[in-house]
Amino acid sequence: MKAIKRGMIVLVLIVVSTLVVACGQDAASENEGTSSGDSDTSLKIGLSVVDLTLERWQHDRDIFIERAEELGAEVIVQSADGDADKQLSQIENMLSQNVDVLVIIAANSDALAPIVEQAKDQGVIVVAHDRLINNAEIDAYVSFDNEGVGEMQAQYLIDRVPQGKYFLLGGEPSDHTAHMFRQGQMNILQPLIDSGDIEVIGDQWADGYSGEQALSIIENALTANNNDIDAIVAPNDSTAGGAIQALEGQSLIGEILVTGQDADLAAVQRIAEGKQSMTVYKPIKEIATTSAEVAVRLAEGEELEADVTIDNGIKEVPFVQLTPISVDKDNLLEVIVEDEFHSYEDVYKNVPEDERPAKP
């Protein structure tokens, strides 16, 4: 686990109002393309997204573009569809289009060092968005307290099932954050595993956080254990969806606790219906807006500002670390609806009207 050092750089993000030049405001409704931005003189940002088929990243893209355009930048977006090689050639292409900044959501945290080197040779700023890029001269990392995400998931489960059989699902193995989630989960679970209160009956990782893989992993785990499982640690909502589909097949919905992360619409609907126990909401507005601001300001020659750093193997990278929030049925309305991440109608769509909480 990469060490996070606090207090190495204590600066504050300063909102430089002079940077705010309202330009095109087109919402990015397509998967890929170039946002309207400004004229030839505007700052060009390449946003390389790991996989736009996952709902999580669509939110990041839309909000990032909106904020970058407000700041006068133009954004080129591409989705690598979870393929690390495809991401490399897409980034190469962005460099040939003379982007000033690359904001990368890595498909593989260990595969990007050579392309980052090329970018740095061209004087391009590189920001790692949500997922760290290892062994590379990146300028900044903007993400959440990812170990904290894992701790929230495990804490939720042990508060309700302090003794029992746990199945551990992992995320994409080449994603650095997947390991931070696991680290956080183990911070909480290990003492109970050591005392014998919790038995880990399986540990498998789903490539690309694939819901389909999670479905078959949990189907097999249910069969192997005669359905005797008490809790499933799912790293995010796509894998939680697969796990819950497997439970549905055995009429076990609601009987086995399942965690998640991202507050995807399907997941918050499942929470409202009692099918998924919790999710971890990471305010996407905050990360996407911050990332756009960091990208523009670094390109304008400002110093980066972060209150912690993270070791990526070759340097202490300034880390803008945001705070996640644990969400279940009890605070769904307050956190998700009131933050306008999803609407009341969408969240409670599958809940009979007389069983819904009062609309705020």
For ligand GAL, give the closer residue by CB, 79 or 177.
Answer: 177
Strands 164-170 and 140-144: unpaired
Applying the rule CB under 6 A, the residues between 174 and 203 that interact with ligand GAL are 175, 177
Give the closest residue to 282 by CA, choosing from 253, 255, 320. Answer: 320
Measured distance CA(94)–CA(110) in Å, rounded: 20
Total residues contacting ligand GAL by CB under 6 A comes to: 11
Q: Which stretch binds ligand GAL (CB under 6 A): 14-22, 150-158, 171-179, 318-326?
A: 171-179
Measured distance CA(26)–CA(94) in Å, rounded: 21
For ligand GAL, give the closer residue by CB, 26 or 207.
Answer: 207
**CA of residue 4 relative to chain centroid, distance:** 18
Q: How far is the CB of 175 from ligand GAL (least distance, A)?
A: 5
Q: Which stretch binds ligand GAL (CB under 6 A): 19-27, 64-72, 92-100, 170-178?
A: 170-178
Residue 56, interface with ligand GAL (CB under 6 A)? yes
Measured distance CA(61)–CA(67) in Å, rounded: 10
Applying the rule CB under 6 A, the residues between 245 and 274 that interact with ligand GAL are 261-262
Residue 210, interface with ligand GAL (CB under 6 A)? no
Q: Which of 209, 281, 319, 341 binds ligand GAL (CB under 6 A)?
A: 209
Q: Which of 69, 74, 100, 130 binds ligand GAL (CB under 6 A)?
A: 130
What does each C-alpha distance from 26 to 67, 69, 70 come to in angstroms?
A: 11, 9, 10
| Phi, then psi, of 116 in degrees rounded to 5 | -65, -35
Residue 131, interface with ligand GAL (CB under 6 A)? yes
Give the closest residue to 112 by CA, choosing from 96, 101, 97, 127. Answer: 127
- Provide the 3-class DSSP secondary structure of residue 354: helix
Q: Which stretch binds ligand GAL (CB under 6 A): 1-9, 169-177, 221-229, 328-336?
A: 169-177
Query: Which residues are at the interface with ligand GAL (CB under 6 A)?
Result: 54, 56, 130-131, 171, 175, 177, 209, 236, 261-262
